[in-house]
Amino acid sequence: MIRPAKPADAEEVVPLIIQAMGKLAKKLTNVEDDEIINRIFKHFFQQKNNQYSYENTLVFEDEGKILGSLNAYDGGKLLKLRQPFLAYLAEHYQANNNNPGTETQSGEFYLDTISVNPNTQGKGIGKQLIKAGIDWAKQLGHHNIGLLVEQNNDRALKLYQNMGFVIQNEKQFMDGLYHHMVFKINC
């Protein structure tokens, strides 16, 4: 079952968010220690009004266990949602990452992280989460859904293309080159 996340889901969801981010979690936080990174993301997941908040997250739950998550938000609100995160990092970890760049833009509902527990991958959970993200975007009145995918992630690229996402352009973000993919919602 897919449902909105709640603060109590942090223990299971935060590792999924970090898994989806990969090396970007360390780059964005400017922290090498995985335990500290987990603590930072847990802090923000449990808070409102930020990029990684439970408010912006859907989870796939089966028999009381969270097997996947999707973090998404209005791309036009990215800078406002990211600001508390960057301010916290600067204050507590001396991270001077004031401008990591933007991976999304106004006019699109951005699927930031999509992640499935490695033990349950290949069972359609990611696809169900993406469909739920599309429905969520529709409910909020969005017409475009965007996401970034690493250029060497052929498996994810194929999944998104099979679901109707198309490559709109290439995007440089935090020293990496990504496909910026868009799904258009028919009005």
Residue pLDDT, tens place only, 18-44: 999 999 999 889 899 999 999 999 999
Mean pLDDT to the nearest integer, 165-172: 95
Which carries the bigger pLDDT value, residue 91 or residue 130?
130
Domain total in the chain: 1
Q: What is the DSSP letter of 108?
A: S
CA–CA gap between residue 104 and residue 98 (Å, rounded): 17
Structure tokens at 63: 């028999």
pLDDT at 97: 62
Tell me which residue of 125, 113, 155, 126 sits closest to 28, measured CA to CA.
113
User: And the tokens for 22?
Assistant: 């990969």
CATH number of domain containing 47: 3.40.630.30
Which of 42, 73, 80 lies closest to 56, judged by CA? 73
pLDDT tens digits, 112-161: 999 999 999 999 999 999 999 999 999 999 999 999 999 999 999 999 99
Q: Which residues pair with 176 in a beta bridge?
A: 173
Tell me what the pLDDT averaged over the chain comes to: 94
Residue 152 burial class via C-beta count within 10 angstroms: exposed 0-12, middle 13-18, buried 19 and up: exposed
d(CA 3, CA 17): 16
Task: State which residues form the domain around 92.
Answer: 2-184
As a whole number, mean pLDDT of residues 73-101 equals: 87
The model's confidence at residue 108, banded by pLDDT at 50, 70 and 90, is very high
